Amino acid sequence: MGKIIRVAGSLVEADGMRGSAMYELVKIGDEGLIGEIIKLVGDRASIQVYEDTTGLKPGEPAEGMKKPLCVELGPGVLKSIYDGIQRPLDLIKNKTGDYISRGVSVPPIDKKKRWKFVPKVKVGDKLVSGDIIGEIEETKVITNRVMVPPGIGGTVERIEDGKFKVTDTICVLKEDGKEHEISSMQIWPVRKPRPFRRKLESNVPLISGQRVFDTFFPLAKGGTAAIPGGFGTGKTVSQHQLAKWVDAEVIIYVGCGERGNEMTEVLEEFPELEDPKNKLPLMERTCLIANTSNMPVAAREASVYTGITLAEYYRDMGYDTALMADSTSRWAEAMREISGRLEEMPGEEGYPAYLASRLAEFYERSGRVITLGGEERIGSVSVIGAVSPPGGDFSEPVTQNTLRVTHVFWALDAKLADRRHFPSINWLTSYS
């Protein structure tokens, strides 16, 4: 147990943290705020806090939780709306009212609900990581394929059939005399990419239904795209259009540091809009992560990683997923703020020197892959990131570093937007 010695905005320094690890979760203060260690020197840790730190004072406790920031993956993720660290906002509202009070913790997936599990294997079958042991109807559109978690394999000793909670054991595997119990929920650290067998070439187009995208500047399944544009050029509306009509099977929409009323629009529209393929509400295949501009700055980084981990989970089942991040600039600004508080050497325009590698690390998690498992399944994660350059200046560091790692560039033009020409794609500067 450590003690707080300094508080500077969302950065807290604590002493007596010997034995802690980088990126370990920490409970801070008497209210138990959630934070993550981002720097260790001796037994002094710098912790970025994912909640408002007003009123924290030196001398309060800081307790390491011996685990990194993880997400819960299982049936019940779709149709939910989470904040940046996967706390369900609808349940928090029932518990604390319209504003999130500090230190509140609610499980991301309902642990009491029972799901109908249909087994796909029998006793005596040999399984490896990624094999599908059974199916659960998560929504009317998406079937959750329950997989053997990475790093586990063996022979099926026992397999259940019926209705179970996500924490119940539904299958037991035996490997070298050791038994592994498998439930329909997996826990995965957000900063660690989920494993796959191998990456494929992206040669199948992701049809967006917008003619200017599909004709001139197409995006492949498993590809990456950037939508930079100044204020009012239609970045968010373009993201909404793509989230509605793109032909991916699962959509993860991350509202990262943008206005709250834009997320409200998504929440109002998506349940009412019909999916043209099956005439069901679009919300049936969507998961929203809302980390708006009035929420704590540090959680913006977490929200982007949470989103891509959820997308990789559905990719591993063999689905084509699409992640919309609106906007990656706000995440970069959060990095700049934390970096400044850590007193690191600034790079261009005050952004940290590792801005390029962090952006690359995120976009590299996209791709069309052959997943783990005995039978061949193909899944993909396509990433579409909006970039908000100040004053619409494309030569600033976030836009330039994003262009270096993304393959499709949809440039939005303020002049076209002023003429009410939407989507305001500049067909001379964009490319694919």
Sign of dihedral through CA atoms 21, 364, 343, 255? negative
CA-based nearest residue to 208, from 220, 194, 200? 220
| CA–CA dist 230, 64 (Å, integer) | 42
Task: Look up tokens 């390491």; give the residue.
Answer: 64
What is the value of pTM for the model shown?
0.96
For 266-293, what is the mean pLDDT?
88
176-232 residue pLDDT tens: 999 999 999 999 999 999 999 999 999 999 999 899 999 999 999 999 999 999 988
DSSP structure string for 330-389: HHHHHHHHHHHHTTPPB-GGG-BTTHHHHHHHHHTT-EEEEPSSSS--EEEEEEEEEE--
Quick one: pLDDT band at residue 264, thresholds 50, 70, 90? Answer: confident
The mean-pLDDT minimum among 106-115, 258-267, 401-410 falls in 258-267
The percent of residues in the chain predicted with pLDDT above 70, rounded, is 100
Mean pLDDT of the chain: 94
Please say if the pLDDT value at position 359 is more than 90: yes
- pLDDT, residue 67, reads 96
Quick one: pLDDT band at residue 259, thresholds 50, 70, 90? Answer: confident
| CA–CA dist 237, 253 (Å, integer) | 13
CA-based nearest residue to 365, from 318, 411, 306? 306
Q: Go through 98-125 and write b for each residue having 16 or more CB atoms within 10 A of its CB, e for each that does not.
A: eebebeeeeebbbeeeebebebebeeee
- pLDDT, residue 160, reads 95
Quick one: pLDDT band at residue 357, thresholds 50, 70, 90? Answer: very high
Enter the tokens of residue 373. 């498992």
For 71-96, what is the mean pLDDT?
94
Quick one: pLDDT band at residue 338, thresholds 50, 70, 90? Answer: very high
What DSSP element (H or E) covers 313?
Answer: helix 299-316
119-176 residue pLDDT tens: 999 999 999 999 999 999 999 999 999 999 999 999 999 999 999 999 999 999 999 9
The percent of residues in the chain predicted with pLDDT above 90, rounded, is 85
Please say if the pLDDT value at position 91 is more than 90: yes
Enter the tokens of residue 201. 């070439």
**What is the number of other CB atoms lying within 10 angstroms of the CB of residue 344?**
13
- pLDDT, residue 246, reads 93
CA angle 355, 361, 367 (to 5 degrees): 140
**Domains observed in the chain:** 2-68 (2.40.30.20), 71-107+194-419 (3.40.50.300), 114-184 (2.40.50.100)
Largest CA-CA distance found in the chain, in angstroms, rounded: 71
- pLDDT, residue 257, reads 86
Quick one: pLDDT band at residue 12, thresholds 50, 70, 90? Answer: very high
